[in-house]
Amino acid sequence: MLNEAQLIGIEDETGDLTALAGGGVTSACGFLASGISAGIKVGRSDMAMILSERPCVCAGLFTSNKVAAAPVRYDRPLAERGCCRGAVVNVGCANACTGEGGYADACEMGKLAAEAAGVPVEEMLVCSTGTIGRRLPMGRIREGIKLAAAALSRDGGKDAAAAILTTDTVTKQAAVKVRAGGVSVTVGGMCKGSGMICPNLATTLCFITTDALVDREDLKAAAAAAAEKSFNRITVDGDQSTNDTFLVFANGAAGGERLSPGHPDWPVFVRALSAVAGSLSRQIVMDGEGATKFVSVTVEKAASADDALAACRAVANSPLFKAACFGGDPNWGRVISAVGNSGCRVNEADTQIWFDDVCVFDRGRVADEQANKRLAQVMARRAFSVRVALNAGDFEDTVYTSDLSYGYVKINGEYTT
Amino acid sequence: MLNEAQLIGIEDETGDLTALAGGGVTSACGFLASGISAGIKVGRSDMAMILSERPCVCAGLFTSNKVAAAPVRYDRPLAERGCCRGAVVNVGCANACTGEGGYADACEMGKLAAEAAGVPVEEMLVCSTGTIGRRLPMGRIREGIKLAAAALSRDGGKDAAAAILTTDTVTKQAAVKVRAGGVSVTVGGMCKGSGMICPNLATTLCFITTDALVDREDLKAAAAAAAEKSFNRITVDGDQSTNDTFLVFANGAAGGERLSPGHPDWPVFVRALSAVAGSLSRQIVMDGEGATKFVSVTVEKAASADDALAACRAVANSPLFKAACFGGDPNWGRVISAVGNSGCRVNEADTQIWFDDVCVFDRGRVADEQANKRLAQVMARRAFSVRVALNAGDFEDTVYTSDLSYGYVKINGEYTT
């Protein structure tokens, strides 16, 4: 049994990483950030900026939703070019489904932010999150950009992390230090996301910075690998948003050798990036809309990697399973029913299911009354694991999910009103 | 705007059908049914039986969940043979994931029911619904079969409809009369289902009887066509159960000519069957677990039939959209976001969205404040339609869904305890 801090903290199987408590996007050398109130939301900060003090490479992964928001369409070619130094972010309005006018707003936002930060326009990215189908309040955005640029500072990571939240209840940051390329390299990040969370790319904005020296193509590969096992392995409600964005910036400010797949320290750098992405993604599940539980769903001994992932996702997205988790209802039949729905190769006579250390189904034999009692105890925990062994092959995967509570319904029944 | 009775009632575009108020599985000539208390559930009936007084053909469609319950595995070859006269049904236990012992229980249940009804063992089907992973209480089942057979009567349809309910709050029956093959032919049915409702084959047990004279292969084709546009077009929570079963019995007791695809009256017979299946399936959505709304989701002018259906299902299964429906939150952006996630060909600059008669998004132009107010009024209705025009082709489909409410969470957080 892991406690909450362990579940959402840095995973470090090798002992190479040093977690930096309270660290975030300004932990790495040469990165500035800010979070300010532009008046889009009442009584809270609502715009953030991140900027590298020096030239920088970047990698971006974006929503696969075919209805992509204007900022996503604006950012894609810039991130593909790979030389961005920073990003400006607003909450309260997603600038999605806003037509050509909305796209022009995103362009103006990027241009003004680049000017205010003193960088070329192609080096500044734009992110928006909030309600779909409304135009940005450009008057407030313009003023906010000036305030955000003026407030940029070396310890602004925490302010930025607070300013990007929507229905989130807590800020989400993580950072690690690692020895690589002859120097100490830092990787830190922040994210937001609470509902509309589903692979691929959990519905979220995520910003990671590092002072490692990395070429942009190599950074892209490392970012994709890190996202695949973190943000692509979580779900809150199975809905993917129009605005999902995952950005990694690397500015080389730590000095040291250039890290690349041929360098002996490349794996430890990727591990550091993955650890930060993993922690951030699990923080999103822990803070899922209305969530009262954190559940890891592992499918092992599957006939293929696709089977393992499909079965994980079917369980992790099942409203019936998630409602049972909320109520602590020891109704494990919903796990095997969801696995059966996933399309994976499954034979109930070969299948085993555990909740933490309690075996509830063993190759066609169901749990007795005592096991059901112990199951209810497991499900009363804040966090627990579900493990399904299909005994059909050698493939394994894990997806993290939250429960489905009254809180989720309340939050999403009242969001815009 | 349709009222509730119209929404769940018989759809009859041609005027050929006569709805039979209060009709069900014993409306057609020569069918008996019963519903009795076997003591599986406290204070309510919990077993039902249906039987044709004379030889009969049947067609069966079953869950595509790879973890199929024992009764489904028992029934499949018998239904394939196509000469079954009846079925015995229990609630309170799904007899799923119960291994070889559970399969033996299903066999015994079928054998005892056939003996009690006085028909060959291969002419009696078995259905179970309830919790997964528990063995049937065979003592009570054995006694219940005797009681159910003894109680069979020509007006037992209503008792049977009540005995098969689980979390349903109302019985679900429908029946029509139609002129076909020179005589008056009746089609009637009943079903249960409230949660774990998703295509293909909404999670449900459905029994339809007719006194038409039809060959078994033709009946199979007609049953498949009727199910495709009814039970395969509804969703409550996107989860498909281990026990879904859709059975149609035809005994020819009305006399008249043999109906087949070559007969001029075949279309009207299929229409009658589809009307009963459609009404029953919509009654399930209207009584969805915790449901307070009935929402029809239509996608039109799609580039392909697959696109239209995928987009319908993405919207109808989106927890965010469903929670917004519960709260009456005029957050139409969740519709287009779900469409974008569905994989269908969509361009927001071509797309239009209506809620009933209110256009909220018109080819990139979003609704103004007045339209948003009218949208909130539409969403306050017990039932409303969402219509998405992709303007990318000529294909259309419709899926019916309910909202996601506190009630759903409550029901499914406490189901087994």
Residue of A nearest to B411 (CA): A323
Higher-confidence residue: B324 or A167? B324
| Chain B residues near residue A361 by CB distance under 8 angstroms | 97, 133
Residue of B nearest to A66 (CA): B340
Q: Do B97 and A242 touch (CB under 8 A)?
A: no
| Chain A residues near residue B412 by CB distance under 8 angstroms | 319-320, 323-324, 327, 329, 404
> Confidence band (pLDDT; 50, 70, 90) for A292?
confident
% of chain A exceeding 70 in pLDDT: 94
**What is d(CA A365, CA B2) in angstroms, rounded to the nearest whole number?**
49
Residue A321 clears pLDDT 50, i.e. is over it? yes
**Is the Cβ–Cβ distance between B199 and B312 less than 8 Å?**
no
Beta strands at A358-362 and A352-355: parallel, antiparallel or unpaired: antiparallel
Q: Which of A34-48, A116-130, A200-214, A370-384 has the lowest mean pLDDT?
A: A200-214
| Chain B residues near residue A135 by CB distance under 8 angstroms | 366
Encoding tokens for residue A227?
Answer: 């996202």
**What is d(CA B319, CA B237) in angstroms, rounded to the nearest whole number?**
8
Residue with token string 């990007």: A164
Backbone phi, psi, residue A134, to 5°: -130, 145
Residue of B nearest to A69 (CA): B337
Q: Given this model, what pLDDT does residue A203 score? A: 53
Q: Do B364 and A131 touch (CB under 8 A)?
A: no
The torsion of the CA quartet B33, B38, B41, B46, rounded to 10 degrees, works out to -10
> Confidence band (pLDDT; 50, 70, 90) for A197?
low
Q: Do B348 and A67 touch (CB under 8 A)?
A: yes
Choosing from B63, B129, B166, B203, the catalytic residue is B203
CA B73 to chain centre: 20
Q: Do B239 and A410 touch (CB under 8 A)?
A: no
- Separation in Å, CA of B417 to nearest CA in chain A: 6
Q: Given this model, what pLDDT does residue A228 score? A: 83
Encoding tokens for residue A88?
Answer: 């400006």
Q: Do B239 and A67 touch (CB under 8 A)?
A: no
Backbone phi, psi, residue B9, to 5°: -80, -170
**Is the Cβ–Cβ distance between A352 and A372 less than 8 Å?**
no
Q: What does the mean pLDDT of chain A come to?
A: 89
ipTM: 0.74
- Give the amino acid at B310: A
- Separation in Å, CA of A112 to nearest CA in chain B: 25
Q: Do B333 and A133 touch (CB under 8 A)?
A: yes
Q: Do B346 and A66 touch (CB under 8 A)?
A: yes
Burial grade of A414 (CB within 10 A; 0-12, 13-18, 19 or more): middle
**Contacts of A351 by beta carbon, 8 Å cutoff, 6+ apart:** A336, A339, A361, A363, A388, A389, A390, A391
Give me Rg for the CA atoms of chain B. 22
Residue A30 clears pLDDT 90, i.e. is over it? yes
Mean of pLDDT values over A39-47 = 94
Mean of pLDDT values over A49-63 = 93
Enter the DSSP assignment of A71.
H
- For chains A and B, CB pairs below 8 A equal 225
Q: Do A406 and B410 touch (CB under 8 A)?
A: yes
- Nearest C-alpha neighbor of A122 from the set A167, A69, A183, A79: A79
Nearest beta carbon to residue B414 from set A65, A329, A336: A329
The 10 Å Cβ neighbour count of residue A267 is: 14
Higher-confidence residue: A381 or B12? A381
Q: Given this model, what pLDDT does residue A241 score? A: 66
**What is d(CA B221, CA B201) in angstroms, rounded to the nearest whole number?**
15
Q: Given this model, what pLDDT does residue A202 score? A: 41
Long-range contacts of A134-137 (CB under 8 A, 24+ apart): A134/A93, A134/A94, A134/A98, A134/B366, A135/A93, A135/A95, A135/A98, A135/A101, A135/A102, A135/A105, A135/B366, A136/A90, A136/A93, A136/A95, A136/A98, A136/A102, A136/A105, A136/A109, A137/A40, A137/A92, A137/A93
| Chain A residues near residue B417 by CB distance under 8 angstroms | 327, 329-330, 376
pLDDT digits (tens, 9 = 90+) for A229-275: 887 777 666 556 677 888 999 999 999 999 999 999 999 999 999 99
Q: Given this model, what pLDDT does residue B195 score? A: 63
Instruction: Identify the residue among A63, A66, A353, A359 best suited for mutation to test binding to B, counting B beta carbons within 10 A and taking the highest.
Output: A66
pLDDT digit string (tens) for chain B, length 417 residues = 556 677 778 888 888 899 999 999 999 999 999 999 999 998 999 999 999 999 999 999 888 788 889 999 999 999 999 999 999 999 999 998 888 999 999 999 999 999 999 999 999 999 999 888 889 999 999 999 999 999 999 999 999 999 999 888 889 999 999 999 999 999 999 999 876 554 444 457 889 999 999 999 999 999 988 888 887 777 666 556 677 888 999 999 999 999 999 999 999 999 999 999 989 888 888 887 788 888 999 999 999 999 999 999 999 988 888 888 988 888 888 899 889 888 899 998 999 999 999 999 999 888 788 888 899 999 999 899 999 999 999 999 998 888 888 877 887 777 554
Residue A382 clears pLDDT 80, i.e. is over it? yes
**Contacts of A17 by beta carbon, 8 Å cutoff, 6+ apart:** A10, A176, A177, A178, A271, A272, A275
Q: Given this model, what pLDDT does residue A234 score? A: 74
**Contacts of B216 by beta carbon, 8 Å cutoff, 6+ apart:** B57, B58, B59, B82, B83
| Chain B residues near residue A417 by CB distance under 8 angstroms | 327, 329-330, 376
- Separation in Å, CA of A333 to nearest CA in chain B: 5
Residue A196 clears pLDDT 60, i.e. is over it? no
**Is the Cβ–Cβ distance between A157 and A24 less than 8 Å?**
yes
- Give the amino acid at B131: T
Q: Given this model, what pLDDT does residue A331 score? A: 81
Residue of B nearest to A97 (CA): B364
Encoding tokens for residue A286?
Answer: 């822990």
> Confidence band (pLDDT; 50, 70, 90) for A287?
confident
Q: Given this model, what pLDDT does residue B65 score? A: 81
Q: Given this model, what pLDDT does residue A236 score? A: 64
Encoding tokens for residue A105?
Answer: 């707003």
Q: Do A132 and B237 touch (CB under 8 A)?
A: no
Residue of B nearest to A333 (CA): B132
| Chain A residues near residue B133 by CB distance under 8 angstroms | 332-333, 336, 360-361, 366-367
Backbone phi, psi, residue B22, to 5°: 75, 5
Q: Do B334 and A132 touch (CB under 8 A)?
A: yes
Residue of A nearest to B379 (CA): A413
